[in-house]
Structure 1
């Protein structure tokens, strides 16, 4: 991969981590510092390990799907897009934003 591609992947992962940390930070009880450490450590760990896991898995499956990998990518994106459209049309219940998670 090019350096620019790696940089953009890093920026997108950090933006994802930042948005989750802002949301989780607004819902965590401030008196429980250990809970915030657990959440931040687990999220950071999975942000680190999932691209590596995906790379190793992709290398293992490359010999099986290299002839039709573009079709697999299309189907995955199509299913995710169809699910997003379907869920946007459903009637939702109201969300209580005052409820604390932890």
Structure 2
């Protein structure tokens, strides 16, 4: 793979994470750059690891991963989104306060859900002999930058959405999962 292909792939792999990060940023109480960077690093590390796992599994697991990646991503994003929507209705509007940060596990699960397609890409890269370390690092760095920016974009959207920002974030996660599922089912 050449530099242009690697950059294009890294941007493509980070778009789902960017959209999810907007929802995560909207659900927080005016997130600061430190929280945005923390979220970006968590997503970026996961997005770096998943193509390495996929590449390692290579020929053995490629048909399995590509056959189920969209269902796994959809299920995880649906569950996380439904949880956020439920939480948005669980307290009175007056009592509900947005958190200043998300739990590590929540971010890690969201990052994993948006990076499962990168695992399938990693498996396919094993067939073409691509330099997986360079590609995985490019995907991880791109994701870290996009997610960090996405959280800050979400900060602005959170102010607009008000107390229902978590509801909006949950809907965004479900929409991303549904889009992933639709894209994979409509191709096959």
TM-score with structure 1 setting the length: 0.51
Check whether the contact 1:17–1:44 (CA below 8 A) recurs between aligned residues. Answer: no
Contact 1:17 1:43 in 2 (8 A): yes
Seen in structure 2, the aligned counterparts of structure 1 residues 48 and 75 have a Cα distance that, compared at 3 Å, is closer
Higher share of residues assigned helix = 2
Q: 2:71 aligns with which of 46, 55, 80?
A: 80
Correspondence list, 1:1-102, <5 A: 9-30=9-30, 33-58=33-58, 62=59, 65=60, 70=63, 72=64, 76=68, 80=71, 95=85, 96=88, 100-101=98-99, 102=101
Note closer, same or farther for the CA distance 1:3–1:36 as it changes in structure 2 (3 Å cut). closer
Kindly name which structure, 1 or 2, has the bigger radius of gyration based on alpha carbons: 1
Would you say the 8 A contact 1:28–1:36 is kept in 2?
no
Unpaired runs of 5+ residues, structure 1, are none
Q: How big is the alpha-carbon RMSD for the aligned residues of Structure 1 and Structure 2? A: 4.1
SS in 1 for 2:47: helix
Aligned structure 1 segments of 4 or more residues deviating by more than 4 angstroms: 1-8
